[in-house]
Structure 1
Amino acid sequence: MSVEVLRVSGEALMDALDEVARLRIEVFREYPYLYDGTKEAEREYLEGYAESSGAVLVLARVDGVVIGASTGMPMGEADEAFQQPFLQNTERLENWFYLGESVLSGRFRGQGIGHRFFDEREAHARELAFPSVAFCSVVRPQDHPLKPHGYRSHERFWTKRGYEKRPEWRASLNWKQIDSGGMDVRNELEFWTRNF
């Protein structure tokens, strides 16, 4: 089974939105995000990438079916919640490319696709002459009741790729969780950064 990984933008990005929305809902229900998403909310969020001239969507496909997706855009076009930690630390937004989220269907994990997602987004950021990239991850307590037995954090993977955890740089976002009874929950996310 051959996995095709490619960067898309513009019309090709728009054509993939429904498949990417479906996959994001599926994967983000898992720990640590626990996101109880809707197709409508996901399409609205993803359309921001379609409208951004500097955005990138990296797709992983098997036999034409999307089994993974990863996003990125200039920080200056990202949600204000992601911009705030940079502005508060007197960072110039035009120096930063925001690596959005990566989602991958469970049966395809551990095959190097996550590395390809980073490779492609970092290459895109370099092509646009950004000197630095950043992403954030949700913060959960070690004893969270929904943490699966044997869960492994991605921190080692990110560190090996040259990213530095910046726990003092945080964003706050609200989303409905699978354990919140339909109510929005405020979540803290911490940033990881890398300079080229």
Structure 2
Amino acid sequence: MTNVIRVERKSGAALLPYIPELARLRIEVFRDFPYLYDGTLDYEKKYLQTYIDHPESVIVLAFDGDKIVGASTAIPMQYETDELKKPFLDNGYNLDEVFYCSESVLNKAYRGLGLGVRFFEEREAHAAELGGFKHLTFCCVERPIDHPRRPVDHVPLDKFWNKRGYFKHPELKTTYLWKDLDDQDETAKPMTFWLKHER
């Protein structure tokens, strides 16, 4: 690890050179609890194509030298999947006013350095520069307390998110399909949204 971690925002076609390394990092980090995601490079590259296709999207990249050690994605909700949009439409939100802070991934060796805060700051700054957003949101998978893969020392990020101004909205729920580690097939996972309302 070097003494200087560089953080940059990239959008649209500027993301292309970073997609393979970013896909590998996402698979590595999302294998851990609570996601337990058994992903593939092909799927990740296809997923990340959305951020290339829409120039209003952003991926915040953290570099140690030339190596990507962390990344955080965000996109206006209007460009997201129907599964994500439906809870907001059902609850009367204007999708043009919702900015979706999709995921953050960070190599374990670089945690505790303030990059999680920086990821939120950069995504929110991007939303502010685009303008017109009243709500910032992300969603989190819900796992049972007695899940067999839950680490003994697992600490939920609820307090961290609250400090950033985000609060859980149980009325905003969706489900996503993916294959857990050790499973043969995809299963539906409950996802709950957290919101921050802009003043």
TM-score (ref. length: structure 2): 0.96
Q: 1:131 Cα shift?
A: 2.0
8 Å contact from structure 1 (residues 27, 104) kept in 2: yes
8 Å contact from structure 2 (residues 13, 53) kept in 1: no
Return the letter of the residue paired with 1:136: C
| 2:165 aligned partner | 162
- Superimposed CA distance per residue, residues 37-81 of structure 1 (whole angstroms, 9 cap, x where no aligned partner): 000000000001110121000000101100000000000001111
Cα distance in 1 for residues equivalent to 2:36 and 2:153: 17
2:56 equivalent to 1:54: yes
Aligned residues: 195
| 1:140 aligned partner | 143
8 Å contact from structure 2 (residues 12, 57) kept in 1: no
8 Å contact from structure 2 (residues 12, 58) kept in 1: no
- Tell me which stretches of 4 or more aligned residues in structure 1 moved more than 3 Å: none
Structure 2, unaligned runs of 5 or more: none
Q: 1:120 aligns with which of 111, 114, 122?
A: 122
| 1:152 aligned partner | 155
Return the letter of the residue paired with 2:75: M
Cα distance in 2 for residues equivalent to 1:92 and 1:179: 39
2:190 equivalent to 1:172: no
Return the letter of the residue paired with 1:146: R
Cα distance in 1 for residues equivalent to 2:84 and 2:16: 23
2:87 equivalent to 1:95: no
Cα distance in 1 for residues equivalent to 2:82 and 2:17: 26
- Superimposed CA distance per residue, residues 139-167 of structure 1 (whole angstroms, 9 cap, x where no aligned partner): 00111110011001111100011111001
| 1:194 aligned partner | 196
8 Å contact from structure 2 (residues 70, 104) kept in 1: yes
Return the letter of the residue paired with 2:35: Y
8 Å contact from structure 2 (residues 58, 74) kept in 1: yes
Over the aligned positions, Cα root-mean-square deviation in angstroms equals: 0.8
8 Å contact from structure 2 (residues 136, 195) kept in 1: yes
Cα distance in 2 for residues equivalent to 1:43 and 1:139: 25
Return the letter of the residue paired with 1:124: H
Percent identity over paired residues: 45
Return the letter of the residue paired with 1:154: L
Cα distance in 1 for residues equivalent to 2:78 and 2:14: 23
Match of 1:100, SS? coil
Match of 2:101, SS? strand
8 Å contact from structure 1 (residues 139, 188) kept in 2: yes
Structure 1, unaligned runs of 5 or more: none
